[in-house]
């Protein structure tokens, strides 16, 4: 787990230095939450360094790689840039060419910085995502703000109780007019419950908590829509600014799904102000325009005690996106046109950011213009990013048969591009057509199911289509299980990893649970099933 986490972290740092550090951080956290948090919350939860295993191939996981990188990032925050560099130099001097352990790694940091990291080691031995609960007390007479934190990690398989961990909590305080009165400060939490005081404040500030996502935890804090909108408009930390917008969007979607509420005009107005702020990185604005994923919303509803309905999530997301497109049509159109480039393709960060923002605008405008812009962009696209983005919009709108054929005709000899072609059609199919689309493409002459990338493109595309995968009747479940059974004798590693599409089955309604349970039991009953699949499917089925 050490080399995996360190390699991922160094790659993240390099990309952040070469591109936008804030955008890279947001993208990394999105991946972490989508894959690793989901793993931690289910029957497949395990520590970054597992104590034992049935099949070692089943530990090429998001926990080992993505959470492993986050743990090293926390270590860097705790010791500081200078301490981290000093420790890393000592590590390579002392262990280059060796099979170093986590104990060796932490000893290097202790020797280089003088810190005791015994408690920090729990991040490697304990599974689960800590829940960090925060409340605040304001004493206006003394000008004092007290932040109260409590940490608790839910039980995971084999680990019912977890002692407190070291949690670096990066915070800042903003004045009521948006000025930063306390710049980013890292609070070091080591107890189950701990409070931190800030003195000499002229007015009650607005806290910005967990800046830069300083620790892989779930923050439980009561924040109203007004404060979220304030942070979206004024926070000086890009991650928390994006996080405020994401939380607002989730609140709006939850109200639409659970209460039948209309799309929030104030949220759309806040999004419009951010869209029109040309001082912001286009890549950052593009991320802010993207609504929460369906899987993210399913987990949000589940955490709120609401059984997630995939069709309702899909309908609410489409309704909110359409409302945004209608109300912000003018600035979206202006930005879409402003981000166009007449020059030759360039892979630099600025150009990539402009393409990302242009496609984010197109994805919204696509809901009001009958895919006219998408068709025009596909015809004129001079790069894969815009060609693929335009094709996705066309498929979303129910059009694109001609463009799908044209894309295949042009790229049929490029295996990696045709992987995209397979994935796009399934991932962007309507919920009712997703399983049938996957079945049709499985008959295509270029569907080489023994090629792992091609298999992942088709089956992974189906699993990524949340409403399509969970469409009532279970056709997608049966199709998916059929192909896992077929591939298992040939490539059990890929099959086992892809079986995790079923790991969240217990959060859905009783009918869907019964359908998925039947498929998991059918898989387990296959004679000669690999150890990889037996372990993974058994844990998914048996997990509570």
User: The dihedral of CA 315, 317, 320, 325: what is its sign?
Assistant: negative
Neighbour tally for 100: CB within 10 Å: 17
> How far apart are alpha carbons 248 and 226 in whole angstroms?
10
- Spell out the per-residue pLDDT of the chain, length 544, in tens: 888 999 999 999 999 999 999 999 999 999 999 999 999 999 999 999 988 777 777 778 999 999 999 999 999 999 999 999 999 999 999 999 999 999 999 999 999 999 999 999 999 999 999 999 999 999 999 999 999 999 999 999 999 999 999 999 999 999 999 999 999 999 999 999 999 999 999 999 999 999 999 999 999 999 999 999 999 999 999 999 999 999 999 999 999 999 999 999 999 999 999 999 999 999 999 999 999 999 999 999 999 999 999 999 999 999 999 999 999 999 999 999 999 998 899 999 999 999 999 999 999 999 999 999 999 999 999 999 999 999 999 999 999 999 999 999 999 999 999 999 999 999 999 999 999 999 999 999 999 999 999 999 999 999 999 999 999 999 999 999 999 999 999 999 999 999 999 999 999 999 999 999 999 999 999 999 999 999 999 999 986 4
Give dist(CA 102, CA 105) in Å, integer: 5
- What is the phi/psi pair of residue 207, to 5°? -75, 140
pLDDT confidence of residue 52 = 77
What is the distance between the alpha carbons of residues 417 and 163, in angstroms, rounded to a whole number? Answer: 48
pLDDT of amino acid 543: 63
- Which residue bears the tokens 């984010």? 360
Q: Is there a contact between 214 and 77 (Cβ–Cβ < 8 Å)?
A: yes
**What is the model's pTM?**
0.95
Residues whose CB falls within 8 Å of the CB of residue 302, separated by 6 or more in sequence, listed in order: 308, 507
308 membership: H or E segment, kind and range: none
Q: Which domains does the chain have, with CATH numbers?
A: 2-125 (1.10.390.10), 131-222 (2.60.40.1840), 412-544 (1.25.50.10)
Alpha-carbon distances, residue 153 vs 133, 306, 466 (angstroms): 11, 22, 28
- Dist CA 179 CA 175 (whole Å): 5
Which residue in 499, 411, 412 sits closest to 455, CA to CA? 499
All residues at 6 or more sequence positions from 140 whose CB lies less than 8 Å from its CB, including other chains: 204
């Amino acid at each position: 787990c050490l080399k995996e986490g360190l390699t991922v972290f160094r790659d993240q740092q390099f990309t952040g230095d070469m591109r936008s550090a804030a955008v890279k951080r947001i993208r990394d956290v999105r991946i972490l939450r989508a894959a690793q948090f989901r793993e931690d919350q289910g029957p497949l939860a395990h520590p970054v360094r597992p104590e034992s295993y049935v099949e070692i191939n089943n530990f090429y996981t998001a926990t080992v790689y993505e959470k492993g990188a986050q743990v090293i990032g926390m270590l860097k925050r705790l010791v500081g840039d200078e301490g981290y560099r000093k420790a890393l130099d000592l590590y390579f001097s002392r262990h280059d060419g060796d099979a170093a352990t986590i104990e060796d790694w932490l000893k290097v940091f202790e020797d280089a910085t003088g810190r005791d990291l015994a408690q920090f080691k729990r991040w490697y031995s304990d599974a689960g995502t800590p829940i960090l609960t925060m409340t605040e007390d304001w004493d206006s007479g003394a000008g004092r703000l007290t932040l109260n934190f409590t940490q608790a990690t839910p039980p995971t398989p084999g680990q019912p109780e977890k002692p407190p961990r070291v949690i670096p909590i990066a915070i800042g305080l903003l004045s009521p007019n948006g000025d930063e009165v306390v710049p980013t400060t890292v609070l070091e939490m080591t107890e189950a419950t701990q409070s931190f005081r800030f003195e000499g404040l002229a007015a009650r500030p607005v806290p910005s908590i967990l800046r830069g996502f300083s620790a892989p935890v779930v923050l439980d804090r009561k924040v109203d829509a007004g404060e979220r909108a304030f942070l979206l408009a004024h926070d000086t930390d890009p991650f928390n600014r994006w996080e405020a917008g994401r939380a607002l969007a989730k609140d709006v979607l939850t109200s639409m799904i659970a209460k039948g509420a209309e799309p929030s005009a104030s949220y759309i107005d806040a999004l419009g102000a951010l869209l029109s702020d040309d001082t912001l990185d286009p890549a950052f604005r593009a991320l802010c325009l993207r609504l929460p994923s369906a899987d993210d919303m399913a987990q949000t509803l589940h955490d709120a005690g609401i059984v997630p309905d995939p069709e309702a999530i899909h309908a609410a997301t489409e309704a909110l996106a359409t409302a945004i497109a209608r109300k912000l049509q003018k600035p979206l159109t202006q930005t879409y046109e402003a981000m166009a480039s007449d020059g030759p393709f360039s892979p630099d960060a600025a150009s990539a950011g402009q393409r990302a923002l242009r496609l984010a605008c197109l994805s919204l405008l696509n809901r009001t213009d009958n895919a006219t812009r998408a068709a025009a962009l596909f015809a004129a696209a001079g790069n894969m990013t815009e060609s693929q983005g335009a094709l996705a919009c066309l498929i979303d709108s129910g059009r694109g048969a001609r463009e799908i054929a044209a894309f295949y005709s042009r790229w049929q000899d490029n295996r990696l591009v045709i992987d995209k072609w397979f994935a796009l059609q399934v991932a962007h199919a309507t919920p009712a057509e997703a399983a049938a689309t996957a079945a049709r493409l499985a008959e295509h002459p270029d569907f080489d199911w023994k090629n792992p990338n091609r298999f992942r493109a088709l089956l992974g595309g189906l699993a990524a289509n949340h409403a399509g995968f969970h469409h009532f009747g279970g056709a997608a479940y049966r199709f998916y299980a059929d192909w896992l059974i077929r591939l298992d004798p040939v490539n059990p590693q890929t099959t086992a990893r892809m079986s995790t599409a079923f790991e969240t089955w217990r959060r859905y309604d009783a009918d869907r649970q019964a359908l998925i349970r039947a498929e998991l039991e059918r898989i387990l009953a296959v004679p000669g099933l690999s150890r990889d699949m037996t372990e993974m499917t058994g844990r998914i089925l048996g997990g509570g």
